[in-house]
Amino acid sequence: MANTESGSMKNKLVTLIGGGGFVGRYAVRALLVAGARVRVAQRDPRHAWFLRTQGGLGQTQFVAADVTRPDTIARAVAGSDVVVNLVGAFGATMERVQVGGARVVAEAAARAGAGALVHVSAIGADPAAASNYGRTKGEGEAAVRDAFATATILRPSTVFGREDQFLNRFAGMIAALPVVPVLAAETRFQPVFAGDVGEAIAVTAADPASFGGRTLELGGPDVMTMMAIHRYLADEIDRSPSLVALPDIAGSLLASLPGAPISRDQWLMLQQDNVVRGDDGFAALGIAPTPVAAVAPEWLVRFRKQGRFGRRSREQAA
């Protein structure tokens, strides 16, 4: 395993495309700890200014860039030792962002002479996938390989963390509703902590000789069905709604309705387990992945009826 604290990243310039996003902020922190200089590139860099306090004086830079505009990406990656692409999309822009944008970043990194490229994809990426999301992620990986053969591709499972739209979304539903419908109740997930993904990015960026050209899948230590995730959340936030597994035919119909809370493409994604099947990235990187229960209670507390006091009172009474 590469040691990012050994000095190998000291003063190296790492440009993160989309570095102010959910996973990006964790990658930025890991790279700053490793001693790298970090350039955060995104459409509106003001949204990433909160990261300025994470590093030392002059250790962070912010530039405007858009993966659908090659000239902005070329300027953003100029002079970079490492480029990290974190940009993804749902909906109508998937093709432009996850295929075209991935190609733009990889070609720009190659022209700029970057020593390493880390491309963050997703488990389920496959040009033959039924969902547009999985297909465009797979085609994006192929475009990256064509332009930058030694790129490292990381495929995380569903990422969780304080700012996520996964555990927080379901916890909010459980806190608000007496009956919670559960789609794809038996589909399995391997939730991966955003901090661990950030560390994986830092480690692979520091050691392209070991990890360049590889595709590593990242999954946490917990393999949970969708229903098990809902049950865990209900217990953690002291709620007891009725959790009702929707039949597939009902879920498919719901996803086809205008204004539904889930799109048809998301429904297709839920038909496949989201677990590690290829190279176990964390094992290769020497990183011990974080269990959900080790960190999630820190922020899930806000969904309890009486916050921290509710859980503490219940435990003391027992």
Is it the case that residue 6 has pLDDT exceeding 50?
A: no
Cβ atoms of 130 and 85 closer than 8 Å: no
In a domain, 139, yes or no: yes
In a domain, 171, yes or no: no
Can you tell me the distance from the alpha carbon of 168 to that of 142, in angstroms, rounded to the nearest whole number?
A: 33
Q: What is the CATH number of the domain that holds 82?
A: 3.40.50.720
Instruction: With cut-offs at 50, 70 and 90, classify the pLDDT of residue 316.
Output: very low
Q: Which residue has the tokens 């050994």?
A: 6
Cβ atoms of 260 and 183 closer than 8 Å: no
Is it the case that residue 291 has pLDDT exceeding 60?
A: yes
In a domain, 26, yes or no: yes
Q: Where is average pLDDT lowest: 49-63, 111-125, 178-192, 250-264?
A: 250-264
Neighbours of 114 (CB within 10 A): 24
What tokens were used for 168?
Answer: 């927080």
In a domain, 38, yes or no: yes
In the chain, % of residues over pLDDT 90: 83
In a domain, 267, yes or no: no
Task: Walk across the sheet containing 37-42 and list its strands.
Answer: 60-64, 37-42, 13-17, 82-85, 116-120, 152-156, 215-218
How many domains, in total, are found in the chain? 1
In a domain, 269, yes or no: no
Cβ atoms of 191 and 159 closer than 8 Å: yes
Range of the domain at 107: 13-161+191-220+274-289
User: Structure pTM?
Assistant: 0.92
pLDDT digits (tens, 9 = 90+) for 143-155: 999 999 999 999 9
Longest dimension (CA), the chain: 65
Can you tell me the distance from the alpha carbon of 77 to that of 112, in angstroms, rounded to the nearest whole number?
A: 7
The reported pLDDT for the residue numbered 47 is 92
In a domain, 226, yes or no: no
Alpha-helical segments (H) within 52-101:
70-77, 94
The reported pLDDT for the residue numbered 1 is 41
Instruction: With cut-offs at 50, 70 and 90, classify the pLDDT of residue 113.
Output: very high
Beta bridge partners of 224: 189
Q: Rounded to the nearest 5 degrees, what angle is found at the Cα of 59, between the Cα atoms of 296 and 84? A: 60
Is it the case that residue 259 has pLDDT exceeding 90?
A: no
Instruction: With cut-offs at 50, 70 and 90, classify the pLDDT of residue 306.
Output: confident
In a domain, 245, yes or no: no
